[in-house]
Structure 1
Amino acid sequence: MRWQTLPSGVPASTEWSHSGIALDREGNLFWAHPGGGAVLVRRALDGGVEQIEVPLLEIHGISYDPRRGGALWLADPGFKPRPPDYDVEAREGRGGRLDLRTREFTALSRPSHPAYAKDPWRPTSIAVDGPAVFVADGYGASLVHLYGDRGHERTIDGSESGLPFACPHGLVITETDRGRELVVADRGNRRLVTFGLDGTYHGTFTHPGLRSPTCLAVRERELIVTDLDGALTAVDLETGALRHIIPFPAAGKRDGWPNARRGGTLSRPDLVEGTLNSPHGVAAGPDGSIYLTEYVIGGREVRLTP
């Protein structure tokens, strides 16, 4: 695939980007401002970049919902390292819907689950199918929550698979001969777990080529998976065959990964075209293109075209 590094929209930022990415039906591209608090939009018509302010600390998960004029579902885990020393700013996590017509953000209620008597809510990803809204709490209690018309309705902890979730980081809705399903990138357990939209467990996929599955997108009959250790992976939704679109880098992780430690100071590493450092968010376009972000100081947004 042809590699294109996209202009960042925030040149030379020293903020540590932890962004998702999404594409709407018109080809407009959405990702997070590295400093948090805003969504960046690259307009399909002229390539210009605009900024939408949102009341969130870190825009981690981004998914597009075409209903009612278009919206973004945003997941904010509630913490962000800040330069110059990258000490963490923290507050309560949030998830919700940004209406793209009115620019109004509507937050979901915190899940009514006993885990949050002691654990913070730290949403990482949201997937939507009609009135069903699934929220992954990857960085808090390692749970996936289902919201419906009555608010929070059900919690999935992964135990039906024989193993509780360990950082259910990314979510996506797929459609196969089995019908519509929810796929969870269970990063800490190095696996993909599939559920019916009612929360019923359907199956687990593991493979030596999955080291740290992070975020998910659907491209035709393939599940596209970013692997935080440095690979971009495709899994055939019917056969389960796995291939690496971009393989893991040959070099091991440097001191300070995903950044670089120079003289005791964290800084942006030297990023090489064609090699991934720490791929994070992912989206797929109707032409087969893949868009991804990297978890690194300053961020990096890449488009891969067939």
Structure 2
Amino acid sequence: MNDKKTPRRQFTKQLALGSLLVPTILYAQNKSGSGAVIVGDGEHTYECLHDWGLDSLPAQHQYGWTSNGVALDSMGQLYVSHHGAPGSIFVFDQAGRFVRELASQHRVKEEAAGHGIDIRTEDDGEFLYLSPDHASMAFTKMTLGGEIVWQKGKSDLEKDSGLKLSRYRPTNSSFRPDGGYYLGDGYGSSYVFEYDKHDSFVRAMGGLGNQDGKFNTPHGQWLDDRDGTPKLVVADRANQRLQWFAMDGTHLKSVGGFVKPADIDVQGDWLIVADIGASVTVLNKDNEIVAKLGHDDEWEKRVMDRKQNLRGKRPEWVAGLFVHPHDACFDRDGNIFVSEYVAGGRVTKLRKV
């Protein structure tokens, strides 16, 4: 669904493709005749539906400063965390209709502080793991209905780890196959904290640095089990790379080639990276970049130029191109939902063609 109140320029011709180091289709013209822009090519071809669900938001509901995270429950409902009002999460059904708002406790005065959001099915139901983007707030586990199960703030992490955290601003969480989980203090200490299935502290990984095993803004993480061996993969944003770790915390490898990798999801053989550098990047099982969806090199230069402030200039956005992807997740049908760090928020559904 599109925001009918705001005009946007339409890009009507295919951008010329330059010399590429990887087999990447940056942008494709409309092939379906539906009026929607088609991005990608071959197995990675999608209809690009910007502002999905936006028209269904009730009055006084807005993404505000940004839309941050996306996650799907077992019914296919989409949960979007944001910095707007009210609450800090909007929930939509599969058709893009607004269902409810949640997590009003994650607010600073009049502004929500929703950031990282992930959902896991456990023995006694489905649960949200939330990382509010504010130093005064705590990682939170809550039911899909909004009941808080536990919270872990700065003092809890310091007590558990024995570390003194001069900075603390949580960004994202992820899950282990044994029932444990990780909590990432991405905007704060640059540690990723591991807990077991009994909520007992295991280890603190990383800390600030650019060496292998260290992080500079570990913004998001996920479980990568594409080769049958589960590993933790971390979006080490300011170091412009992904890092993989064994389940015992041992560093395995680092892969560069990103602008500002923000978060990760995995389905089948594919790993996707929401990159603030104007792309949703697709990696194969060998962790080679095979596609950059909604991306163009010249457009990337524009959106990464802070002086132009394109994140706040919706009339200048181009259909079929991303501004600042902040999170992305697959649904069960292989479609991809993307949230962006832009003023007023934007959720895009990439419908697999």
Instruction: Please say whether Structure 1 and Structure 2 have the same fold, judged by a TM-score greater than 0.5.
Output: yes
Q: 2:118 aligns with which of 63, 72, 75?
A: 63
TM-score normalised by length of structure 1: 0.84
* Change beyond 3 A, Cα 1:245–1:117: closer
Answer whether contact 2:63 2:345 (CA < 8 A) is retained. Answer: no
Answer whether contact 1:76 1:94 (CA < 8 A) is retained. Answer: yes
SS in 2 for 1:164: coil
Answer whether contact 2:310 2:316 (CA < 8 A) is retained. Answer: no
The runs of 5 or more residues in structure 2 that have no matched partner are 1-45, 108-112
* Change beyond 3 A, Cα 1:74–1:26: same
Answer whether contact 1:77 1:94 (CA < 8 A) is retained. Answer: no
Q: 1:140 aligns with which of 178, 181, 188?
A: 188
Larger radius of gyration: 2
1:286 matched to which residue of 2?
332
SS in 2 for 1:259: helix
Query: Matches of 1:46 and 1:167 in 2, distance apart?
Result: 32
Give the CA deviation at 1:182: 0.7
Query: Matches of 2:157 and 2:314 in 1, distance apart?
Result: 36
Answer whether contact 1:60 1:125 (CA < 8 A) is retained. Answer: yes
SS in 2 for 1:96: strand
1:215 matched to which residue of 2?
263
Q: Does 1:24 align with 2:73?
A: yes
Answer whether contact 1:52 1:103 (CA < 8 A) is retained. Answer: no
Q: 1:190 aligns with which of 225, 228, 240?
A: 240
Q: Which amino acid aligns with 2:169?
A: R
Answer whether contact 2:190 2:217 (CA < 8 A) is retained. Answer: yes
Cα shift readout 1:226-254 (whole Å, capped 9, x = no counterpart): 11021110011335344212224523235
Answer whether contact 1:233 1:246 (CA < 8 A) is retained. Answer: no
Query: Matches of 1:14 and 1:243 in 2, distance apart?
Result: 29
Give the CA deviation at 1:50: 1.2
Give the CA deviation at 1:105: 4.8
Between the two proteins, the alignment pairs up a number of residues equal to: 285
Query: Matches of 2:95 and 2:191 in 1, distance apart?
Result: 39
Q: Does 1:128 align with 2:183?
A: no
Q: Which amino acid aligns with 1:177?
A: D
1:73 matched to which residue of 2?
129
1:202 matched to which residue of 2?
252
Mapping for residues 1-306 of structure 1, pairs under 5 Å: 1-5=46-50, 6-8=52-54, 9=57, 13=62, 15-35=64-84, 37-44=87-94, 47-57=97-107, 58-67=113-122, 68-78=124-134, 91-101=135-145, 103-109=147-153, 110-112=156-158, 113=161, 115-119=163-167, 121-129=168-176, 130-148=178-196, 149-157=198-206, 162=212, 164-177=214-227, 179-207=229-257, 210-248=258-296, 250-251=298-299, 252-253=302-303, 255=307, 257-260=309-312, 270-306=316-352
* Change beyond 3 A, Cα 1:147–1:118: same
CA RMSD after TM alignment: 2.5
Query: Matches of 2:229 and 2:210 in 1, distance apart?
Result: 20
Give the CA deviation at 1:184: 0.1
Greater Cα shift, 177-186 or 160-169: 160-169
Query: Matches of 2:146 and 2:314 in 1, distance apart?
Result: 36
Answer whether contact 2:69 2:82 (CA < 8 A) is retained. Answer: no
Cα shift readout 1:183-232 (whole Å, capped 9, x = no counterpart): 0000111110011222121211122xx11111111122111001102111
The runs of 5 or more residues in structure 1 that have no matched partner are 79-90, 261-266
After TM superposition, where is structure 1 displaced by more than 4 Å over at least 4 residues in a row?
158-161
Name the structure with the higher strand share.
1
Cα shift readout 1:102-147 (whole Å, capped 9, x = no counterpart): 633521253124553422x211010012431101111001111101
